[in-house]
């Protein structure tokens, strides 16, 4: 299968930023509680409130089986001794199961509570639960439910587990502590499950349709479960399968075609001109105290479309069934207990159509880029790189046959080719989506940063008549790879996981303010994109800290450095920004924090497409940084900023001084443990001498704030004021 999967990067260890303290939701556990209530008409015990989440979590820990799973159909909020409840259950009913949205829901809840409390017992329960899910996955990729040993979609058994795994793979903050081994297993299990779903989609007369409630473990065809659940095509369960497929970031062609086929089937089998209505009946006639009514079909030409739960696999005829296993074709022919106790009709596909329209638009727009550019620690364009390696100056290939003369030429070329530039390509910008904001418009765009990479980016454009001043925003490193551009610009059209990730990062590093939105509100066009290995240009499998080193090594083996490639992407991005019609090319600046600051002064030094720059928390000297205790000595984060052999010629402040006499603002924190103050001051002194020598001292600002490694609102205001002054921008 082409480009087999799909995953955006994961969150890996990053420490000290704020997390929102919220009460975990019990909504996913309501199905099990509902089934408990069906068997317990009288409920005179006390129950915990949702705010007492540690008490509820303690219940989960108490009821967890030794295999790591949970029994189903218990009131998890009950103030009852776990033993007293379990003693009422048979050994059969104590067994672990995924039925009624069980086990994976407890895992998600406990992970949230662990995030809030850091109590080890909850972490251990989560790990045991994940082990249960991984060990019970079938060889075919699915999971079984309660009633039959088959791949089960009923009650979101298989899709519920895969959705949990997808959230973990996307970087769910509540699972950020998982080690790499567990992450790899979850990633593999997810891919295996999605592959099964694609293979199990039922083909009817050569056309793909949807799925059944349960599928045979070997043939992957729909199969029987309970007596009233016959092999069929099902609208309800298939909706959740489609919804899961639509949640996969940057889906493969196979996933897209699967979704399209399913939606076409929903369109074909929709039922019109009828609705299902509840009818009151005497209490003594009710089938169950939870269902004190009857259901009848009413003809109604104005009724919205509705779908049957079950359809014949041969011709899509809707049908129902009694507990005797005999099919019927009218709701009135189903006995009362099953008529009201089972969902024979659903409106779920209609809601899915609304999501499908937006999803399809996004998928069509995203065809221009893959959503990831790293797989197995290699850049996706490695084949192109390898083909370009013809070794024309190797001894024997070179035209020069005198060894002494060839040696001189080869050495000269080696020094010349420290940094190969990616081939240039037309930008070919496309707008994927837009969002109106206060005083400006946020655009999600894609453009060619080189022949190797077509990249997604955020472009913020002020309201009114341009051209406007502009800023290229360069994101930080932070050992945090699941987002990149979203660290600088408030994202939109993303999952809740990505949104929370970005919000938390803005709080922890940028004082709760998105720098890009702040500048856009003040009249600047803003461009922000991911560096290779971050966000939508991340590692296909999942983000992993050590993979930085592998990626860097693989690029170096083919004649290119990772730090150099990032620098070239930044240069091309600056030139792209300056080329936009709404931008005043004489008023283009760049700004970054941490690694972004390194990128900012590198870009200032490398191209005159930018006229001013601001660098927050990245300036020092090699002498100060290369010690046994400094972060640079650890290697990992440094790979993205390594320029091979540049230290033979220039130190950091010397390279930054190439930008002279252009305006530059440098700020660092006195409490920043990554950049010792003595090194910062030495670097500032070196640059000061260069700017002064050129009569441009007034255009260089260097400041030390009484802060740690942090880009405060005060610093952001200073940057805005600096750009306004140096670019001669008048604020309204």
Looking at residue 646, its pLDDT comes to 66
Gap between the Cα atoms of 672 and 675, Å rounded: 6
pLDDT in tens, 425-440: 999 999 999 999 999 9
Average pLDDT of the chain is: 89
Looking at residue 19, its pLDDT comes to 36
Gap between the Cα atoms of 123 and 170, Å rounded: 19
Q: Contact 667/721 with Cβ under 8 angstroms?
A: no
Gap between the Cα atoms of 462 and 519, Å rounded: 10
Q: Contact 535/484 with Cβ under 8 angstroms?
A: yes
Looking at residue 409, its pLDDT comes to 55
Helix H or strand E encompassing 579:
helix 562-579
Lowest-confidence region among 108-117, 389-398, 459-468: 389-398
Query: Looking at the DSSP assignment, which residues form a beta bridge with residue 30?
Result: none
Per DSSP, the residues of 504-564 read HHHHHHHTT--HHHHHHHTT-EEEEEPPTTSGGGSBSS---TTHHHHHHHHHHHTT--HHH
Best CA proximity match to 160, nearest among 214, 72, 225, 99:
99
**Burial (CB count <10 Å: 0-12, 13-18, 19+), residue 203:** exposed
Best CA proximity match to 511, nearest among 379, 616, 393:
616
In the chain, residues under CATH classification 3.40.50.1820 are 403-727
Gap between the Cα atoms of 31 and 187, Å rounded: 28
Gap between the Cα atoms of 699 and 612, Å rounded: 9
Residues 6+ apart with CB under 8 A from 193: 137, 141, 142, 158, 161, 162, 165
- Residue 478: count of CB within 10 angstroms of its CB: 22
Looking at residue 400, its pLDDT comes to 72
pLDDT higher than 70, residue 3: no
pLDDT higher than 80, residue 485: yes
Per DSSP, the residues of 307-335 read EESEE-TTT--EEEE-TTS-EESSGGGS-
pLDDT in tens, 145-201: 988 999 999 989 999 999 999 999 998 999 999 998 999 999 999 999 999 999 999
pLDDT in tens, 15-73: 333 334 589 999 888 888 888 888 887 888 999 999 999 999 999 999 999 999 999 98
Gap between the Cα atoms of 72 and 534, Å rounded: 40
Average pLDDT for 202-227: 96
CATH match of 403-727 with 2.30.30.90? no
What's 428's DSSP letter?
-
> Whole-structure pTM over 0.85, yes or no?
no
């Amino acid at each position: 299968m082409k480009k087999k999967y799909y995953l955006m990067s994961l969150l890996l260890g990053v420490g000290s930023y704020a997390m929102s303290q919220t009460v975990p939701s019990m909504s996913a556990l309501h199905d099990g509680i509902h089934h408990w209530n069906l068997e317990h008409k009288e409920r005179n015990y006390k129950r915990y409130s949702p705010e007492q989440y540690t008490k509820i979590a303690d219940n989960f820990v108490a009821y967890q089986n030794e295999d790591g799973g949970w029994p189903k159909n218990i009131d998890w909020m009950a103030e009852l001794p776990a033993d007293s409840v379990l003693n009422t259950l048979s050994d059969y009913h104590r067994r672990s199961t995924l039925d009624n949205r069980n086990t994976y829901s407890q895992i998600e809840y406990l992970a949230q509570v662990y995030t809030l409390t850091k109590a080890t017992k909850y972490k251990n329960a989560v790990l045991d639960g994940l082990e249960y899910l991984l060990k019970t996955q079938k060889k075919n990729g699915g999971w079984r439910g309660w009633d039959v040993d088959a791949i089960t979609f009923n009650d979101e058994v298989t899709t519920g587990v895969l959705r949990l795994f997808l959230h973990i793979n996307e970087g769910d903050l509540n699972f950020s502590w998982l080690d790499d081994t567990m992450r790899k297993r979850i990633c593999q299990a997810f891919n295996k499950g999605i592959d099964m779903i694609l293979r199990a989609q039922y083909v009817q007369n050569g056309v793909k349709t949807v799925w059944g409630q349960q599928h045979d473990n070997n043939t992957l065809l729909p199969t029987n479960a309970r007596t009233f659940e016959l092999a069929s095509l099902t609208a309800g369960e298939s909706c959740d399968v489609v919804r899961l497929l639509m949640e996969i970031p940057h889906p493969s062609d196979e996933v897209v075609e699967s979704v399209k086929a399913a939606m076409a089937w929903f369109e074909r089998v929709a039922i019109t001109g009828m609705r299902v209505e509840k009818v009151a009946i005497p209490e003594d006639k009710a089938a169950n105290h939870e269902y004190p009514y009857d259901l009848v079909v009413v003809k109604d030409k104005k009724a919205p479309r509705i779908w049957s739960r079950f359809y014949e696999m041969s011709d899509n005829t809707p049908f129902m069934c009694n507990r005797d296993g005999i099919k019927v074709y009218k709701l009135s022919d189903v006995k009362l207990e099953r008529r009201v106790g089972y969902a024979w009709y659903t409106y779920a596909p209609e809601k899915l159509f609304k999501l499908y329209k937006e999803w399809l638009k996004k998928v069509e727009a995203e065809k221009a880029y893959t959503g990831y550019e790293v797989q197995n620690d290699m850049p996706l364009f490695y084949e192109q790189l390898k083909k370009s390696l013809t070794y024309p100056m190797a001894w024997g290939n070179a035209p020069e046959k005198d060894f002494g003369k060839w040696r001189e030429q080869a050495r000269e070329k080696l020094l010349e080719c420290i940094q190969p530039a990616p081939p240039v390509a037309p930008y070919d910008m496309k707008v994927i989506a837009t969002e109106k904001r206060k005083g400006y418009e946020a655009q999600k765009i894609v453009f060619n940063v080189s022949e190797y990479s077509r990249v997604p980016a955020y472009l913020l454009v002020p309201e009114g008549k341009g051209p406007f001043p502009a800023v290229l925003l360069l994101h930080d490193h932070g050992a945090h790879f699941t987002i990149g551009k979203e660290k600088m610009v408030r994202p939109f059209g993303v999952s809740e996981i990505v949104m929370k990730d970005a919000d938390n990062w803005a709080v922890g590093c940028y004082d709760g303010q998105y720098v890009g939105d702040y500048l856009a509100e003040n009249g600047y066009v803003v461009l922000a994109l991911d560096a290779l290995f971050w966000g939508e240009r991340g590692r296909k499998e999942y983000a992993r800290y050590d993979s930085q080193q592998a990626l860097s090594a693989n690029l170096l083996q083919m004649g290119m450095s990772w730090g150099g490639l990032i620098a070239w992407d930044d240069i091309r991005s600056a030139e792209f920004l300056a080329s936009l019609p709404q931008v005043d090319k004489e008023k283009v600046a760049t700004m970054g924090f941490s690694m972004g600051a390194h990128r900012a002064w590198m870009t200032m030094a490398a191209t005159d497409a930018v006229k001013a720059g601001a660098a927050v928390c990245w300036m020092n000297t090699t002498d100060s940084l290369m010690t046994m205790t400094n972060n640079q000595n650890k290697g990992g984060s440094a790979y993205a900023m390594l320029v091979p052999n540049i230290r033979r010629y220039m130190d950091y402040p010397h390279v930054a001084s190439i930008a002279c006499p252009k305006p530059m603002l440098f700020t660092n924190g006195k409490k920043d443990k990554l950049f010792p103050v003595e090194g910062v001051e030495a670097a500032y002194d070196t640059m000061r001498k260069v700017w002064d020598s050129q009569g441009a001292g007034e255009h260089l600002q260097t400041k030390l704030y009484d802060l740690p490694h942090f880009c405060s609102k005060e610093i952001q205001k200073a940057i805005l004021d600096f750009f306004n002054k140096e670019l001669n921008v008048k604020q309204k």
